Structure 1
Amino acid sequence: MTLLWGLQDKPKRGPKPRLTVDQITRAAIELADAEGFEAVSMRRIAEKLGGVTAMSLYTYVPGKGELLDLMLDAVYGEALGPIPQGGWRERLEAVARRNRRLYLSHPWLIQIAIARPGLGPNLLAKYELELSVVEGLGLTDVDMDLLLSMIGDYVHGAARAAIYAAQAEKHTGMTDNQWWEAHAPLLEKVWDPAKYPVASRVGNTAGQEYGAGDPERSFEFGLQRLLDGVEALIARRAQGR
């Protein structure tokens, strides 16, 4: 917490520190963006910064757990900034899309299991900003908190699907459509349309529409249905239910 808020004690004498916590955090984020969170270590960060040892970094950041909190809060800062004007629906869409871009820009975020998030300045500012979008809609405070959690959970799942699809293509050298085409001859031998009539019809129609899959379209479809539910909740609260 002291690191997140910049409240650590500053040395009163001696040489000026060569690095800052922000520099170490940014180097760690760049490593994670390029190679995944598992690539982040004090040794790799020291190599990236140059001219320092891994052990010297511990004088700035006690360990990887603290470093992760710093990385997360720094990334959350990218989701700050004015929300576009418009009705609540357009503004909540903007929140969802902004969070999705955050995951797509930093795919390692989906690797992190966060039970107790670090309460850093950017996380709290992000929470305040997003709450402001649903303030004054007649929802209870608990409704507002749960609504943001619901949107966040949906975006996390949708972004994970998009990231996994991109990683699969990178690792195999095949797009989803190419993968399906490669397996089509075998599938034709075992697939029985009479046994799976609905799956055959829907699968063929969807395949003709957008191939093996369209993460962007799936995200937008799901987001609109989610907001339809929020609209119904607002209406119920307006009726005192």
Structure 2
Amino acid sequence: MAEAPGSLVWSLPEPPGGQQPNLSRDRIVRAALKIADAEGAPAATMRRVATALGSSTPMSLYRYVGSKDGLVDLMLDAACGEVSTPAPSGDWRADLRALALANWDMMQRHQWFAELVHTRPPLGPNALRLTDYGLGALSFLDPATAMTYLGMVNSLTIGTALQLAEELKMRRRVGLPTDDDLRAAVKPIHDEIVATGRYPNYNRWAADGGRFHNAAGFPLMLDILLDGLAARMP
């Protein structure tokens, strides 16, 4: 049964301490983060978190987080809290780049983040802190344009992190954790495809070693996007 929607967790006061010594909002969130990091977002159920904390029933957690959505809100914002922001430099590009790379590093530590971030409104204090920093870097633009450009950087960061997380999830599921494992598994069908000659441009790439510049990865994509934004700046 779906949970009834309620107030956002940010409007719910935490119960006073001492009533249940093994429970607090912070302990609940930390337990949920540990489970999600190890096993993925679906594993971080209220029951699993309650068991991890030695609570007799998941219902006791609801007094602290309101609902499962409230727990997700707190998990997302706790992850955002790990992202530090440098002092504004006055260079919009350097500041946005530093913010995006810090977000990227956080999303590699918490691979569930990109999966969940669009499921809840980003109104936690840490999420708002990061948004405010990004908008500050673009404060010379009108607010709507600044938010649009910041959204493009965030979309690249989150979308790339999600794609990578889903690929890694697939590899673990089928037992192909490394690039060499994947190449070995697809080699028979790959060789048949190349032998047909139907895809000459693909064959040219394969003959060159089948390489791509994945060493640069996300930073390269980020720099290309920032190049495009720079060309549109007043």
Q: Name the TM tier (shorter chain).
A: 0.7 to 0.9
- Report the equivalent of 2:133: 129
Deviations 1:7-54 (A, max 9, x none): 52756xx96442221211111111111111111122211211125432
Amino acid in the other structure paired with 2:163 = A
Q: How big is the shift at 1:184? A: 1.8
Letter paired with 2:134: E
CA distance in 2, matches of 1:15, 1:223: 48
TM-score, normalised to structure 2, is: 0.83
Q: How does 1:176-215 map to 2 (within 5 A)?
A: 176-192=179-195, 194-205=197-208, 207-208=210-211, 214=214
| Alignment partner, residue 154 of structure 1 | 156
| Residues 147-188 of structure 1, C-alpha deviations (whole Å, 9 max, x = no match) | 111011111121123223333343333223322233223322
Q: How many residues align?
A: 226
Q: Equivalences for 1:48-87 in 2 at 5 Å?
A: 48-83=52-87, 85=89, 87=91
User: Is residue 225 of structure 2 the alignment partner of residue 226 of structure 1?
Assistant: yes
Deviation at 1:146, TM superposition (A): 0.4
Distance 1:194 1:132, change over 3 A: same
Could you list the runs of 5+ residues in structure 2 that have no partner in the other structure? 1-6
Q: Aligned equivalents of 1:150 and 1:43: distance in 2? A: 37
Runs of 4+ in 1 over 6 A off after TM superposition: none
Give the letter for the 1:151 counterpart: V
Maintained 8 Å contact 1:73/1:123: yes
Provide the TM-score with structure 1 as the length reference. Answer: 0.81
Which consecutive residues of structure 1, in runs of 5 or more, have no partner in the other structure? none
Between structure 1 and structure 2, the one with the greater Rg is: 1
Distance 1:228 1:118 in 2: 27
Contact 2:15/2:63 (CA < 8 Å) preserved in 1?
no
Deviates more, 1:142-151 or 1:173-182: 173-182
- Across the aligned residues of Structure 1 and Structure 2, the Cα RMSD in angstroms comes to 2.7
Kindly indicate whether residue 7 of structure 2 is the aligned counterpart of residue 8 of structure 1.
Answer: no
